[in-house]
């Protein structure tokens, strides 16, 4: 997995996308895409321009991990007619490395708080599910991978989980809702 570290570099240099765009000629759309790690590709001349602009090497601009992560929701569809106070399910973190694919289950309890028949606050407790021997081994791999990850990769993984939670409850959320996620220690 490769992540662009541009957002952190902008913070370090006390600058922003607009200023870098004006100074380098790189479009704001491209820079924003790089900052959010939503780009599918990047031109080498863009990389060269950014490295020269910030006086950094390519290894500072892009970070590499031998692990690829994907997150999938295993949450059941929420029946909101009765305004349930909680929901249970899970998320699956899929790790690929060295030609191996491992699927780890994260159990989840979701506490729902309502205002005007919509959810205005979601509190989520996540934990690694170690209820059987097979899952214990899979989660050992996840724990090892997480222990080796640099902070930006953990932040990216938390953001992926958060986006899955948002997607699962999107149609029931009030504008300005709050989301609190209590992650297992390994994800911090």
Q: Where in the chain is the domain with CATH 1.10.260.40?
A: 2-64
Does pLDDT of 83 surpass 80? no
Does pLDDT of 47 surpass 90? yes
- Convert the pLDDT of each residue in 124-164 to its tens digit: 999 887 667 777 888 888 889 999 999 899 999 999 999 99
d(Cα 41, Cα 168) in Å, to the nearest integer? 29
DSSP 8-state code for residue 171: G
Is CATH 1.10.260.40 the right assignment for the domain spanning 2-64?
yes
């Amino acid at each position: 997995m490769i992540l662009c570290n541009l957002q952190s570099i902008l913070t370090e240099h006390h600058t922003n996308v607009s200023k870098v765009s004006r100074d380098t000629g790189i479009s704001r759309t491209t820079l924003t895409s790089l900052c959010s790690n939503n780009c599918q590709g990047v031109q080498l001349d863009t990389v060269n321009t950014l490295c020269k602009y910030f006086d950094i090497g390519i290894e500072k601009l892009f970070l590499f991990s031998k692990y690829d992560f994907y997150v999938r929701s295993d949450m059941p569809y929420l029946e909101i007619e009765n305004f349930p106070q909680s929901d249970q399910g899970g998320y699956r973190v899929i790790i690929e490395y060295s030609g191996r694919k491992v699927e780890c289950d994260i159990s989840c309890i979701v506490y729902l708080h309502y205002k005007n028949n919509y959810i205005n606050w979601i509190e989520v407790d996540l934990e690694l599910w170690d209820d059987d021997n097979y899952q214990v081994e899979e989660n050992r791999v996840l724990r090892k991978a997480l222990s080796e990850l640099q902070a930006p990769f953990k932040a990216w993984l938390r953001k992926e989980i958060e986006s899955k939670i948002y997607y699962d409850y999107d149609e029931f959320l009030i504008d300005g809702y709050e989301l609190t996620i209590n992650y297992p220690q390994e994800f911090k």
